[in-house]
Amino acid sequence: GRGGYDPKPDKVFGVAFRTKPESSTGVPHILEHSVLCGSRKYPSRDPFAHLLKGSLQTFLNAMTYPDRTVYPVASRNRADFRNLMDVYLDAVFHPRAVEEEGWWVLRQEGWRYDVIDDEDDGGRALATNGTKQRNLAGNSDRADFEFKGVVYSEMKGAYSNPEDLLERSTQSLLFPDNSYHYDSGGDPAIIPTLTREEFVAFHKKYYHPTNARLFVAGDESDVYHALSVADRYMSPMGYNPQSRKDSVIHYQQRTFKQPVRERKPFAAAASEEGEDDGTTEGHMLCVTWLLNTQPLTPLMELTWIVLDNLLLGKPSSPLTKALEDSNLGEETIGGGLDDELLQSTFAIGMKGVNKREDVAVLEDLIMDTLHKLDSDGFSDDEIASSMNTIEFQLREGGGGLRGMEIFLSALAKWNYDISPKDALVYEDALKLLKEEIDKTGSNTFQQLIHDSLLGNNHCVVMELFPSTTLEADQVQDTKIQITRAKSKMSDSEYQHNIDEAAKLKKLQDTEETPEIIATNPALSISDIDPTPIEYPIHADENAFKSGINVVSHEVASSGIAYVDLGLDVSMIPYEDAILLPSLISLLNEAGTSDMSAADFRNYVGKSTGGVYATLEIMSVKPTGWDDDIKVHPGVNMLTMLFIKGKCTIEKISDLFPVFTKILTDINLDDSQDILRNALKSHLSSKKSSVASRGHSFANRRIRGRYSARNFIDEKLYGVSSLESYAAILESVESDWGQFVLRLKNLREAILNGSRNGMVLNLTGDRTVLDAIMVEAGDFLVNSLPWDLGHPAPPTPDFRSVDHPWIASAEKEMIQSNPVRDEGIVVSTQVAYVAEGGRLYDVGDPVSASVSVVSHYLTTGYMWDVIRAKNGAYGAYSQFSSHDGIATLFTYRDPNTPEDTLDAFHGAASTILEDAKSSLIRDDNAAITTSIIGTIGGLDGSALSANDAGWVSLVRYLRGESALSRQRWRKEMLETSVDDFVDYAKRLKSWKTPSIAIVASQSALNDMEREMSMFKV
């Protein structure tokens, strides 16, 4: 790159197998986890975890699709890239999981019977080979079992999510005759029927080079190296055309005479104690069509992508708007077009439908809206807007992981032996579609609606209804399933399960020998670039004498201009801050004084690559702290409204007028419906996020108890925001006149703000920047409102004074989120358990070594104990040097919360033991590994032009110097065993830690500890 900035793109390698499920045991998914647990050349128990610990990887994962299993890796460092590639190739072709010695992998990753330890010695005694077991002929004496396993927990979590459940059930019905009928991820009720023989046979059948597709992106030497390594693995295995034949996915024909209808329950929490079966959850309805029974031509594929955008791309698009305006439900679901498999589908519906009779009304509305579009078509502006939006997305491409994007997109064709180019090269199809539209206008889209949606009976109409008893029923069903299985076991089978569980536990508790650990590939500190990545930046104070700072970044951007305008909002009173997201929703969705919402948004789509408003809250360093790393007082922050836009170089003159309209001309008065829909939809999706991503809410909730800055963040975005937004929705519906007045006052106050609180951020190639500068001067001087008759007081320098919201936030914090233990009630079969507290006080210097220790905890103790042993899908340690707060939390955790909290409490002692043993072995190799992994996370992927410009601006606004980044990196590289000891001691003496747990009512009730309850 020019300007001394080298984006060093990520090198990408991937291997994909076509894996065709023949049941819902989840064998493709369990195998995807299992092959990464040791192989011929890398015999440790978890080479994957080792790479997470200590590689510079920028992507390291594996994914199971309904018909393929994909193993992609990426790194920006050549030595590291070669290691990753070798580990992955050895894992997929020679995994130990399918050999005798790897018997335990299926048990750990897939499913197993675990003995439930009763507090009396009953359960425990069974694991020893004492006399007690001889008398087990009578079934009633047998120990209690439960199911455990990483994939088992992951899928229990997935099936607890109603939208996920709806999608899986629909897919099964839509494809009665081909392999999409089965769930490749695994149905928790069926996973425990998977046998070892089926598991081994599946690998043998599909994991063959002839059934593999390999991908590499990098420079010439990376490509040649990858080919020679792959050849070394694959040639000895020979050619086996049968493996490719066996994996062919057959087309599901359109066989339905009329739509298939199904009603299924989903688990919902009861509204309050004592009510009969009542719940506030609504019904869900989704209609899904099967679109093609032969390969789509590239033109047809692109036409569908554009039609999908026309129907559902924006809140003002006709199908989205019809559903949301109907007030029948809270949020649209289904997501429209899905085109990554052999056959594409189109799905649309709503969740949060209040009354059962409204479900039928909603179905009619979907069909009526499509009929109307079939006859009336779309306007030229709608088509131009969608065409430009899609073309912009195709041309822009992603950031550093572009190679990954190409690999995963290519597989949508390549997996079916169609040329991968068909998924990647769009110029011809685009040209054809433009010609088609010039000739027949909207007709090509109307035809698709007519033939593939309205005239197509091969569709599924799926309704999910809330049940307050289902959760308990499912727990009961699992118990019955286990009891039945147990009663059918002979004494020796029963004993075998008991022994195997004990053997697995013992194996997991045994430390691996230094010789085995040494087989994992390792980088050395010399492989790491000692200097941090810096991005180009040029700041013009008071540019064009406009009173506004202009910051610019010269980076390669393929002729696309990225423009961000920031305005200070600190003058907004604290009690009105909660209204800012509502104002922003309207800036993003409403019309202007002379254009309807649909017309204005089409205009924006036609002339730009997208423009949107967002609220940014960022901590800044106190004055004079530029080069230091100390815990911030938490009172210095910026609160800014940003308008972010992008366009091609020839449209720059259209971009700034759009900014002006969004800031000054949005018609707030007539936007009641738009805001009501936005709020409903926001509340609905936030509610489901709490149940499916509870760990991030629990973590945010804890962090909000120890700092006012974090408290504001939690209030706006955390679980407590559900109450505020529900109250706002109430005011929008009951007194719009009063409410819209408040929004207008907010807007006026922001526009009247002082110009020294504004910033214009520009990113692009040199030619792009020169072109923007021509327009920017005019915009800043003539188009932004000047002080309307009374000069605004200058925006304070928030690095040297407290932000005005802080004092009120501190007061409110004591009331609404004091330091206390809290349960957050949702309906789920898994839990999200978090605990945290302050490790460092304000002003304490923090060494970068803390992030190395926190990374060591996440990828070591938390992974080994909570994921591998206890079967949670994720377990993390997080520390922030900004606020001095540390948290530990789990994701899709099947254990009782108390057991997980006990596991958390073992973390510090484990680090102290390691400091006397494993951390100081082999010249501190384990510490080096953690340093490397932490640096990998710090540097991350190569950024897209847009992100590079944004990251660079944030560093500038925060007052972080390049020197502080250099110092941070140097401290990281010098982390020693003493730093580990220091962190562990702090963790042992956590100041007033507290917990937050997202779980079901019954799991929280079983805890028997003083907790305040928060019901979602």
**C-alpha to C-alpha distance for 1004 and 658, rounded to whole angstroms:** 50
Report whether 888 contacts 907 (CB < 8 A): yes
- Of 113, 109, 111, the closest CA to residue 498 belongs to 113
**C-alpha to C-alpha distance for 961 and 981, rounded to whole angstroms:** 29
**C-alpha to C-alpha distance for 322 and 362, rounded to whole angstroms:** 10
Q: What is the CA radius of gyration of the chain?
A: 29
Report whether 990 contacts 837 (CB < 8 A): yes
Q: Does the annotation count 109 as an active-site position? A: yes
Catalytic residue among 109, 154, 330, 714: 109
Residues 908-941 as b/e (b if ≥16 CB within 10 A, e otherwise) read beebbebbeebbbeeebbbbbbbbbbbbbebbbb
**C-alpha to C-alpha distance for 405 and 397, rounded to whole angstroms:** 9
Query: Is residue 787 within a helix (H) or strand (E), and if so which, with residue range?
Result: none
**C-alpha to C-alpha distance for 715 and 812, rounded to whole angstroms:** 10
Supply the DSSP string of 856-896, one letter for each residue: HHIIIIIIIIIIIIT--SEEEEEEETTTTEEEEEEESB-S-
8-state DSSP, 49: H
Report whether 445 contacts 300 (CB < 8 A): no
Give the strand pairing for 991-999 and 68-75.
unpaired
Report whether 639 contacts 620 (CB < 8 A): no
**C-alpha to C-alpha distance for 296 and 452, rounded to whole angstroms:** 13
Task: Read off φ and ψ for residue 615, nearest 5 degrees.
Answer: -100, 130
Supply the DSSP string of 193-239, one letter for each residue: G--HHHHHHHHHHH-SGGGEEEEEES-HHHHHHHHHHHHHHHGGG--
Question: What is the three-class DSSP state of 177?
Answer: coil
8-state DSSP, 24: S
Does the CA dihedral 892-897-902-907 come out positive or negative?
A: positive
**C-alpha to C-alpha distance for 848 and 879, rounded to whole angstroms:** 11
Q: Does the annotation count 32 as an active-site position? A: yes
**Owner of token pair 């009641």:** 672
Half-sphere exposure in the Cβ direction for 594 (13 Å, CA)? 1
Report the amino acid identity of residue 166.
L
**C-alpha to C-alpha distance for 13 and 80, rounded to whole angstroms:** 12
8-state DSSP, 102: G
Q: Where are the beta strands (DSSP E) in 123-197?
A: 145-148
In 415-461, which residue ranges form alpha helices assigned H by DSSP?
A: 421-424, 427-440, 443-448
Give the strand pairing for 637-648 and 548-554.
unpaired
Catalytic residue among 22, 32, 775, 822: 32
**C-alpha to C-alpha distance for 357 and 96, rounded to whole angstroms:** 55
8-state DSSP, 314: S
**Owner of token pair 């299926």:** 106
**C-alpha to C-alpha distance for 106 and 94, rounded to whole angstroms:** 15
Residues 94-111 as b/e (b if ≥16 CB within 10 A, e otherwise) read bbbbbeeebbbbbbbbbb
Q: Which two tokens stand for residue 568?
A: 């200070």
Residues known to be catalytic:
32, 109
